[in-house]
Chain A
């Protein structure tokens, strides 16, 4: 198949392309790429797979090796970020993922083969492997019955021992952007499979664009918020540029690039800085929404679990947004700003949710996202007040737990909230992203006498598990009630109207599971999803949701959700490790927060 240039297609173009290859359905093309150049593989119409072969070396003897790639990365598929490289059999990088707007690909299976179609009753059907044989023949590459390829947009998941698949997740215009690590010969296909759901029964074209090495494309992972919404690319926060001076361990979290840990410090030092002195952590991935209008309070009362009628200006409350069956859509904090409210949670979709609730109840409110205007650092630790006090133009000592104030922090406009996610005294500092680098540097400087350290997500996760604080997707989702997740105290059933109220009234007397803390015997750390059993029994009473080794307690601890009959403090249980039977580790039920369960530190 001869590669053809199609200048008419501009969809999804990221820059000035130096080459463009249109791959007709059920065909393949071979093309050369120079080291440093970018390769964009774009699914034009959606639901179409494109298999990729890569060769390097003078005689094209270096080939992509999916097993080496999985092993060296420790993940099933490389992704933009630290684990982004694809390797050859000599463990040398061939290319790396720069951007990916689909997020679902395959490197376990061969490119489709004639054998697959023959066995299904279609002898002679075109296949990607045969198409590759044809386009690679001019380069002296011997044919194969089946090529081990990276099958982009191919919907594969490995669950236990099964490889499951189906129609591709990719939407029209979804793409992967790769960067060549060395000179490459590539072959890409538009998958020929029309006999099953892989390509939605209808193969469509694939577009390849090559961009020059001099162009700059930031690493990003695209997420689709809604079925037909364009992907939202991972974004840096206002602090990321400063953070990158201190670490290369940057990972994607909820649409933002965040540090996992910091070079030359590491998780342990960061953790102890938090527990003993003071630490700063970038929590800009939280989403912010402004609720204004005469019915703003009523909307919050309906959508949010807490009774905010008792809040006064400058106060805030932690709670959750609920669905009609009492499941937690999101957890977050409502700030009473006087004539308006601010909700700080985790999901961009809260905007749509709150607007729909307002419309259903015919409320006179306006809801606007402000995540792009407010990025936030959390300054946490027993020395945080002492350190922050001289930087502010208002009296920090007047700021009680779950209170906030606006002012200037070293002349930077800031909102300071006495809240956090660590179990320590602390503050969250909201500033405009443009002030992010300045704020970061001011805090690092001011923190020197306290030996302040920046805190990564790994140390933060350890601290929040100790403090019994919830993580979305771990301790709750939209099928989990607040009573199961351990935040029943954040539900006000006395409110006249609240989404999910009827369901929660029924759940409250006996939720199916109850959140507890576990202290395990020995030093082995449990893992989310491991089952919890009564002593000596095969049957289960619950599951681990999060676990860590607590440095300050010097114990292996976990958060778990167990049936109410086994939730009493002091109950002896077992956690099933490995296959659940081979090794059982004794555990004892305790408070959800293993560290400072009375919250004396955050309230100090």
Chain B
């Protein structure tokens, strides 16, 4: 199993004006994706992944300098939103080119209905449970490289990593 380190920091925005702020950041295309879908884009020349979590909540994976992102966001904070980084959110990531592209994630974890893990498409995510522990499974590309990402509580990261490693077939 080859885990790769996330090459970004995650920032969350949410609030009544969350969609409008996201539109200002990423353009109208951000309202073309539904909750638990994502897109890859660039912001101020840096790659970023944007995952929509509900109508007005977005998680932004930013590969640039934090200070630059904060500077971009500063004029937008007058809208009815908050901007946060969660120190309790951890991330594990696998390269899909390592053999995980066609893997049926529904075979090891249980999605929260009506989400589906079997056939989970690229740029889609689903809340799920692995042996009772919550994780968000997200297929998307980072810097053009397809990956599957697992987001979880920091306190569960070690246990989930072990569970994933024991549940997943040894492909590599």
Instruction: State the A residues within 8 Å of B (CB).
Output: 82, 247-250, 260-261, 263-269, 272, 522-524, 549, 551, 554
Asked if residues B16 and A524 are in contact (CB atoms below 8 Å), the reply is: yes
Known contacts A523-B17, A523-B20; A268/B31 CB under 8 A:
yes
Asked if residues B34 and A266 are in contact (CB atoms below 8 Å), the reply is: yes
- With beta carbons under 8 angstroms apart, the residue of B17, B36, B119 that contacts A266 is B36
Best-surrounded residue of B80, B114, B115, B124 (most CB of chain A within 10 A): B114
Which residues 94-126 of B sit at the A interface, judged by CB distance below 8 A?
113-116, 119-121, 124
Known contacts A82-B114, A248-B114; A269/B119 CB under 8 A:
no
Asked if residues B55 and A264 are in contact (CB atoms below 8 Å), the reply is: no
Asked if residues A522 and B114 are in contact (CB atoms below 8 Å), the reply is: no
Best-surrounded residue of B34, B120, B121, B124 (most CB of chain A within 10 A): B34
Asked if residues B34 and A267 are in contact (CB atoms below 8 Å), the reply is: yes
Known contacts A522-B16, A523-B16, A524-B16; A268/B33 CB under 8 A:
yes
- With beta carbons under 8 angstroms apart, the residue of B16, B31, B56, B119 that contacts A263 is B119
B63 within 8 A of A: no
Q: Which 3 A-B pairs have the closest CB atoms?
A: A266-B34, A249-B114, A264-B121
Alpha-carbon gap, A521 to B33, bound state (A)? 24
A202 → chain B closest CB, angstroms: 40
Asked if residues A266 and B55 are in contact (CB atoms below 8 Å), the reply is: no
B35 within 8 A of A: yes
Known contacts A82-B113, A248-B113, A523-B20; A269/B33 CB under 8 A:
yes
B141 within 8 A of A: no
Alpha-carbon gap, A554 to B33, bound state (A)? 15
* 19 intermolecular pairs with C-beta atoms under 8 Å apart: A247-B116, A249-B114, A260-B114, A263-B115, A263-B116, A263-B124, A264-B119, A264-B121, A264-B124, A266-B34, A266-B36, A268-B31, A268-B33, A268-B37, A269-B32, A269-B34, A522-B16, A524-B16, A549-B19
- With beta carbons under 8 angstroms apart, the residue of B17, B116, B120, B124 that contacts A248 is B116
Q: Name the residue on A nearest B139 (C-beta).
A: A264
Q: Name the residue on B nearest A263 (C-beta).
A: B116
A525 → chain B closest CB, angstroms: 8
B120 → chain A closest CB, angstroms: 7
A172 → chain B closest CB, angstroms: 34
Across-interface contacts of A268 in B (CB, < 8 A):
31-34, 37
Across-interface contacts of B119 in A (CB, < 8 A):
263-264
Asked if residues A272 and B32 are in contact (CB atoms below 8 Å), the reply is: yes
Alpha-carbon gap, A264 to B36, bound state (A)? 9
Alpha-carbon gap, A554 to B35, bound state (A)? 17
| B side interface size, CB within 8 A | 23
Asked if residues B33 and A264 are in contact (CB atoms below 8 Å), the reply is: no
Across-interface contacts of A551 in B (CB, < 8 A):
31
Across-interface contacts of A249 in B (CB, < 8 A):
114
Alpha-carbon gap, A265 to B55, bound state (A)? 15
Alpha-carbon gap, A265 to B114, bound state (A)? 13
Across-interface contacts of A266 in B (CB, < 8 A):
33-37
Contact with A along B35-63 (1 / 0, CB 8 A): 11100000000000000000110000000
B37 → chain A closest CB, angstroms: 6
Across-interface contacts of A522 in B (CB, < 8 A):
16-17
Across-interface contacts of A261 in B (CB, < 8 A):
34
Across-interface contacts of A524 in B (CB, < 8 A):
16
Known contacts A264-B119, A523-B20; A247/B34 CB under 8 A:
no
Alpha-carbon gap, A549 to B115, bound state (A)? 23
Knowing that A82-B114, A264-B119 are A-B contacts, what are 20 other residue pairs whose CB atoms are under 8 Å apart, sorted by A's residue number?
Answer: A247-B114, A249-B114, A250-B114, A260-B114, A263-B121, A263-B124, A264-B120, A265-B34, A266-B34, A266-B37, A267-B34, A268-B32, A268-B37, A269-B33, A269-B34, A269-B37, A522-B17, A523-B19, A523-B20, A551-B31
Across-interface contacts of A523 in B (CB, < 8 A):
16-17, 19-20, 56, 80
Known contacts A269-B33, A269-B34; A549/B55 CB under 8 A:
yes
Alpha-carbon gap, A295 to B37, bound state (A)? 56
Alpha-carbon gap, A260 to B115, bound state (A)? 12
Q: Name the residue on A nearest B19 (C-beta).
A: A523
Across-interface contacts of B34 in A (CB, < 8 A):
261, 265-269
Best-surrounded residue of A248, A265, A523, A554 (most CB of chain B within 10 A): A523
Alpha-carbon gap, A554 to B20, bound state (A)? 9
Alpha-carbon gap, A372 to B38, bound state (A)? 41
Across-interface contacts of A263 in B (CB, < 8 A):
114-116, 119, 121, 124
Alpha-carbon gap, A146 to B37, bound state (A)? 46
Alpha-carbon gap, A551 to B23, bound state (A)? 11
Across-interface contacts of B120 in A (CB, < 8 A):
264
Q: Name the residue on B nearest A270 (C-beta).
A: B34
Across-interface contacts of A265 in B (CB, < 8 A):
34
A490 → chain B closest CB, angstroms: 34
Best-surrounded residue of B31, B35, B80, B119 (most CB of chain A within 10 A): B31
Alpha-carbon gap, A265 to B116, bound state (A)? 12
Alpha-carbon gap, A517 to B121, bound state (A)? 38
A411 → chain B closest CB, angstroms: 30
B62 → chain A closest CB, angstroms: 23
B67 → chain A closest CB, angstroms: 29
Alpha-carbon gap, A551 to B55, bound state (A)? 11
